[in-house]
């Protein structure tokens, strides 16, 4: 179950080129941050309603009123401003936050399990969130406050799944392999439960199907504020474990000899990754492969130091999801398509590439 060369040990302190390597990694992080900023600035130009680029620019620069010096009528200008400030900007914000959350969660789980194929969805966390959403749809819970109950139940479902994983981690069976296989089994079990819920209420299946494909339709300033608050707390705490994750890549015994409480760190990181994934799933539904792809991109360009990989994965995840949002609008601008479709188109081939890239331990020819 161990990872491949993507998890090469971090050079010891004082080794040749270590400081230069860290400086280069920091510069690359700043470059990625710059890319995030550029994509955020350009993204308001894209939407289901065409707005002239100059008008978009004026609306953004002349807060909150725009369109000065354009031929747009006052009523049309007001409508444009409403679309940009109440729809596009919150949507871009949610894409940035959710992408960052999934990216840093994926990096965390790949480090904890020392497996480059691990991501937030392998443990069944997203499936738990989907069960929570399906319960709201099927049993018509909180119809008058659907905007509150849907993300709340999805968040509870995701966290409940994470707590089951934590229970296994705290038991005497809490090895890396057992945790990983428990996540796979939980995901399969929850998929079966979801199928039963869909059979129970076929009318709600269309809503659940849209949730399964993921989207940014729930975006609002309030949603962005809640999601950002959770991400700031959990993301900061996860980033503080970079040194411990570096040592854990060398093996449990080496980490313990360096003073790392491996069990405690593993529990905390799984819990924090579950919380971080939970807030993304609660507001966007299931968006796959962001947590799988982002850490690999960072390790490829900036090295394997988790003090760099964790924040770097958050930035790459943000770019990935923003890019998927913009690509979906460029290809099919007349309506909103589930963003999970576009992440899957890129992420699934990448996953297959990783499977073939790993060194096989046993082949059919060796039987």
**pLDDT tens by residue, 139-155:** 776 555 556 777 788 88
pLDDT of residue 165: 80
In tens, the pLDDT along 12-71 reads 544 445 666 678 888 888 899 999 999 999 999 999 888 888 888 888 887 555 565 555
322 contacts: CB under 8 Å, gap ≥ 6: 36, 39, 40, 43, 92, 95, 96, 99
What mean pLDDT do residues 184-209 have?
A: 78
Name which of 347, 326, 349, 350 is nearest 336 in CA terms.
326
The pLDDT of residue 68 is: 56
Residue 170: closest CA among 257, 262, 256: 262
pLDDT of residue 326: 92
Convert the pLDDT of each residue in 267-303 to its tens digit.
899 889 988 998 898 889 889 889 999 999 999 888 8
Higher pLDDT, 89 or 278: 89
Is the model's pLDDT at 360 over the cut of 60?
Answer: no
Q: How many CA atoms lie within 13 A of 45 on its CB side?
A: 11
Name the average pLDDT for the chain: 82
Measured distance CA(131)–CA(361) in Å, rounded? 36
Q: What is the pLDDT of residues 92-146, one digit of tens each?
A: 999 999 999 999 999 999 998 888 878 887 778 888 888 887 888 777 765 555 5
pTM summary value:
0.85
What is the model's pLDDT at position 311? 95
**pLDDT of 83 strictly over 80:** yes
Determine the pLDDT at residue 232.
95
The pLDDT of residue 4 is above 50: no
Instruction: Select the CATH number that applies to the domain covering 90-357 from these four: 1.10.3470.10, 3.30.420.40, 3.30.70.2750, 3.30.1050.10.
Output: 1.10.3470.10
pLDDT band, very low/low/confident/very high, at 198 (cuts 50, 70, 90): confident
| pLDDT reported for residue 22 | 73
Lookup: tokens for 163? 């707590």
Report the percentage of the chain scoring pLDDT > 90: 33
Per-residue burial over 157-190, b = 16 or more CB atoms within 10 Å of its CB, e = otherwise = bbbbbbebbbebbeeeebebeebbebbeebbeeb
Q: What is the pLDDT of residue 231?
A: 95
Residues 6+ apart with CB under 8 A from 364: none
Domain residues of the chain, as ranges? 90-357
* pLDDT higher than threshold 50 for residue 1: no
Higher pLDDT, 360 or 244: 244
């Amino acid at each position: 179950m161990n990872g491949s060369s993507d998890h090469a040990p971090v050079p010891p302190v004082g080794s040749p080129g270590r400081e230069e390597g860290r400086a280069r990694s920091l510069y690359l992080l700043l470059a990625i941050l710059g890319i995030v900023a550029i994509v955020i600035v350009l993204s308001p130009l894209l939407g289901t309603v065409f707005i002239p680029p100059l008008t978009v620019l004026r609306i953004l620069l002349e807060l909150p009123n725009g369109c000065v010096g354009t031929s747009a009528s006052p009523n049309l200008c007001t409508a444009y401003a409403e679309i940009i400030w109440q729809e596009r900007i919150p949507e871009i914000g949610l894409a940035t936050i959710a992408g960052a959350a999934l990216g840093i969660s994926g990096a965390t789980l790949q480090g904890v399990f020392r497996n480059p194929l691990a991501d937030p969805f392998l443990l069944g966390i997203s499936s738990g969130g989907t069960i929570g959403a399906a319960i709201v749809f099927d049993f018509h819970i909180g119809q008058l406050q659907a905007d509150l109950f849907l993300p709340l139940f999805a968040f509870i479902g995701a966290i409940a799944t994470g707590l089951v994983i934590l229970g296994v981690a705290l038991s005497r069976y809490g090895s890396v392999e057992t945790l990983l296989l428990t996540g796979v089994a939980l995901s399969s079990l929850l998929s079966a439960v979801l199928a039963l819920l869909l059979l129970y209420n076929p009318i709600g299946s269309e809503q659940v199907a849209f949730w399964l494909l993921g989207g940014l339709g729930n975006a609002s300033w309030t949603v962005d504020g809640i999601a950002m608050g959770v991400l700031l707390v959990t993301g900061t705490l996860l980033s503080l474990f970079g040194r411990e994750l570096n040592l854990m890549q060398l093996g449990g015994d080496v980490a313990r000899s360096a003073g790392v409480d491996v069990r405690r760190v593993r529990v905390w990181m799984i819990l924090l990754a579950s919380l971080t994934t939970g807030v993304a799933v609660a507001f966007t539904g299931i968006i796959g492969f962001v947590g799988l792809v982002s850490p690999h991109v960072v390790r490829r360009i900036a090295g394997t130091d988790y003090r760099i990989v964790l924040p770097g994965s958050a930035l790459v995840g943000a770019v990935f999801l923003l890019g998927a949002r913009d690509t979906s609008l460029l290809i099919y601008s007349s309506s909103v398509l589930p963003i999970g479709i576009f992440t899957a188109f890129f992420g699934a081939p990448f996953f297959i590439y990783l499977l073939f890239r790993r060194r096989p331990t046993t082949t059919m020819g060796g039987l």
